[in-house]
Amino acid sequence: MPDKQTPPQQILKMKGPLDSRTLADAIVNEGYAANPAAARKMIERSRRAGKIESTYPVRFDKSYLYFLEGHRGKKYAQCVKKLLPEKPAFHRVFKTILANKGWITVGQIGKASCCLPTGDTSKAGGRQTLDTITRHLISLGLIDEIGGVSGLFRIGTQFGAVGVNRVAFQKKIELESGLLDIFKDWLRNCFLVAYDSHTIRPNDVSAAVFNQTLCDMHGPIYFGPFSQAKPLTAR
């Protein structure tokens, strides 16, 4: 005999993925709970029991997105993209991925999200570290890891397909790094600055650390090596 569905399950099955505030209101409106506080407890019990899924620990303006396993794919991705503007750091990361035709480096993640460097324990400005942000992006499904490749990620398969192959993207990044080295030397010679008076990423996929911020000669964020943030559709 199949398990009886909980009220949150029933509502999510009927309405699709919902943020926690909307789901709690729906539970109250359907008469399953007397107030939003009781509804939130009901939602949490369902989550802990594995009856429903959520984006925990990632929140969007203090709300989690709740969904069923069957929603994974297009429905889930559409709801996450709709909520992304409420989480500006992740929204900037996603726009960078689109501008790069489905790819992003760990350095770009750091600069786009304005996070703290990995290992920083200060929690300055309430920001999270790069490794935490990267884990959350992976858990959300916005990015996928690439086996055997460090510091480079592709767009999550639920969110679209890459528009250029990995080798081509890495080649563009390598060429860009070479141009930056030439530009750095030119600036140093023209303005007679000290040999180490520059901030540039240590390798193709990383970013330099300065004053608890990830940046380099591109500034706090760059869209490269491509230019337009067009939506990517799954193939």
The reply to whether 60 and 106 lie within a common domain is: no
The reply to whether 34 and 130 lie within a common domain is: no
- Enclosing domain of residue 63: 7-77
Q: Among 49, 77, 105, identify where a domain stops.
A: 77
CATH number at residue 41: 1.10.10.10
Number of structural domains found in the chain:
2
Q: In a 10 Å sphere around its CB, with 0-12 CB exposed, 13-18 middle and 19+ buried, how is residue 217 labelled? A: middle
* pTM over cut 0.75: yes
Q: What is the pLDDT of residue 196?
A: 61
The reply to whether 120 and 66 lie within a common domain is: no
The reply to whether 34 and 142 lie within a common domain is: no
The reply to whether 15 and 114 lie within a common domain is: no
Q: What is the pLDDT of residue 173?
A: 84
In a domain, 38, yes or no: yes
Cis before 85? omega within 30: no
The reply to whether 148 and 227 lie within a common domain is: yes
The reply to whether 123 and 143 lie within a common domain is: yes
The reply to whether 111 and 45 lie within a common domain is: no
Look at residues 54, 131, 147, 133 and name the one whose alpha carbon lies nearest to residue 96.
133
Q: How many residues does the chain have?
A: 235
The reply to whether 37 and 120 lie within a common domain is: no
Q: Among 50, 77, 104, identify where a domain stops.
A: 77
In a domain, 164, yes or no: yes
Q: Among 77, 99, 130, identify where a domain stops.
A: 77
Which segments of the chain have a pLDDT < 50? Answer: 1, 220-227
The reply to whether 100 and 172 lie within a common domain is: yes
The reply to whether 98 and 213 lie within a common domain is: yes
The reply to whether 65 and 112 lie within a common domain is: no
In a domain, 209, yes or no: yes
8 A C-beta contact, residue 56 and residue 47: yes
Q: What is the pLDDT of residue 226?
A: 47
62-101 tens-digit pLDDT: 999 999 999 999 999 999 999 999 999 999 999 999 999 9
Q: What is the pLDDT of residue 1?
A: 41
Who's near 205: CB < 8 A, 6+ residues apart? 105, 106, 107, 150, 151, 152, 173
8 A C-beta contact, residue 216 and residue 208: yes
In a domain, 82, yes or no: no
Q: How far apart are CA 136 and CA 130, in angstroms?
A: 10
